Protein backbone atom coordinates (compact mmCIF):
# COMPACT_ATOMS: atom_id res chain seq x y z
CA UNK A 1 0.00 0.00 0.00
CA UNK A 2 1.25 3.49 -0.73
CA UNK A 3 1.92 6.14 1.87
CA UNK A 4 -0.56 8.98 2.33
CA UNK A 5 0.04 12.54 3.50
CA UNK A 6 -1.65 12.90 6.90
CA UNK A 7 -1.96 16.53 8.06
CA UNK A 8 -3.63 15.77 11.43
CA UNK A 9 -0.33 15.26 13.23
CA UNK A 10 -2.00 15.30 16.64
CA UNK A 11 -3.40 11.84 15.85
CA UNK A 12 -0.01 10.30 15.00
CA UNK A 13 1.61 9.91 18.42
CA UNK A 14 3.20 6.44 18.52
CA UNK A 15 2.84 5.86 14.77
CA UNK A 16 5.60 5.11 12.27
CA UNK A 17 5.84 8.03 9.83
CA UNK A 18 7.93 9.31 6.97
CA UNK A 19 8.73 13.03 7.11
CA UNK A 20 9.04 14.83 3.79
CA UNK A 21 9.99 18.30 2.63
CA UNK A 22 8.42 18.79 -0.79
CA UNK A 23 8.91 15.33 -2.35
CA UNK A 24 12.16 14.54 -0.54
CA UNK A 25 12.19 12.08 2.38
CA UNK A 26 14.12 13.68 5.25
CA UNK A 27 13.40 11.21 8.08
CA UNK A 28 11.52 8.08 9.09
CA UNK A 29 10.65 7.11 12.63
CA UNK A 30 8.18 6.78 15.47
CA UNK A 31 6.28 9.88 16.53
CA UNK A 32 7.27 10.64 20.11
CA UNK A 33 5.10 13.69 20.72
CA UNK A 34 2.91 16.20 18.89
CA UNK A 35 1.36 19.61 19.51
CA UNK A 36 -2.44 19.51 19.87
CA UNK A 37 -2.83 21.91 16.92
CA UNK A 38 -0.69 19.69 14.62
CA UNK A 39 1.90 22.44 14.23
CA UNK A 40 4.89 20.46 15.54
CA UNK A 41 5.86 16.79 15.58
CA UNK A 42 8.81 15.10 17.31
CA UNK A 43 10.35 11.84 16.15
CA UNK A 44 11.76 9.63 18.90
CA UNK A 45 15.49 9.12 19.24
CA UNK A 46 16.78 6.01 17.48
CA UNK A 47 20.33 4.68 17.59
CA UNK A 48 22.74 7.58 17.18
CA UNK A 49 19.97 9.90 15.97
CA UNK A 50 18.66 12.22 18.68
CA UNK A 51 15.03 13.25 19.11
CA UNK A 52 14.07 15.51 16.20
CA UNK A 53 11.45 18.25 15.79
CA UNK A 54 9.57 19.07 12.57
CA UNK A 55 7.39 22.17 12.09
CA UNK A 56 4.47 22.05 9.65
CA UNK A 57 4.79 25.78 8.85
CA UNK A 58 8.32 25.13 7.55
CA UNK A 59 6.89 22.82 4.88
CA UNK A 60 7.34 19.41 6.50
CA UNK A 61 4.65 16.79 5.90
CA UNK A 62 4.01 13.47 7.63
CA UNK A 63 3.26 10.40 5.50
CA UNK A 64 1.79 7.18 6.85
CA UNK A 65 0.68 3.82 5.55
CA UNK A 66 -3.07 3.53 6.08
CA UNK A 67 -3.86 0.66 8.43
CA UNK A 68 -5.98 -0.23 11.40
CA UNK A 69 -4.32 0.55 14.69
CA UNK A 70 -4.73 -1.63 17.76
CA UNK A 71 -6.02 -0.62 21.17
CA UNK A 72 -6.87 2.95 22.11
CA UNK A 73 -5.53 4.28 18.79
CA UNK A 74 -7.90 2.18 16.65
CA UNK A 75 -10.13 5.14 15.81
CA UNK A 76 -7.29 7.36 14.65
CA UNK A 77 -6.69 6.25 11.09
CA UNK A 78 -9.70 5.21 9.09
CA UNK A 79 -9.98 4.91 5.35
CA UNK A 80 -12.67 7.60 5.22
CA UNK A 81 -10.42 10.06 7.07
CA UNK A 82 -7.39 9.38 4.89
CA UNK A 83 -9.18 9.23 1.55
CA UNK A 84 -11.93 11.76 2.28
Judged against a pLDDT cut of 60, whether residue 64 lies above it is answered with yes
pTM of the model: 0.76
User: Mean pLDDT across the stretch 24-28?
Assistant: 95
3-state helix, strand, coil in the chain (%, to 5): 15, 40, 45
Q: What average pLDDT is seen over the chain?
A: 85
pLDDT of residue 26: 96
Q: What percent of the chain has pLDDT over 90?
A: 65
Domain boundaries, the chain: 4-83
- Assigned fold of 4-83: SH3 type barrels. (2.30.30)
Residue of 56 and 68 predicted with greater confidence: 56
Amino acid sequence: MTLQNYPDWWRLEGALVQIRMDEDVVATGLVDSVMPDSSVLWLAAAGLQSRRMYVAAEGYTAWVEPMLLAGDAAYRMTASRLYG
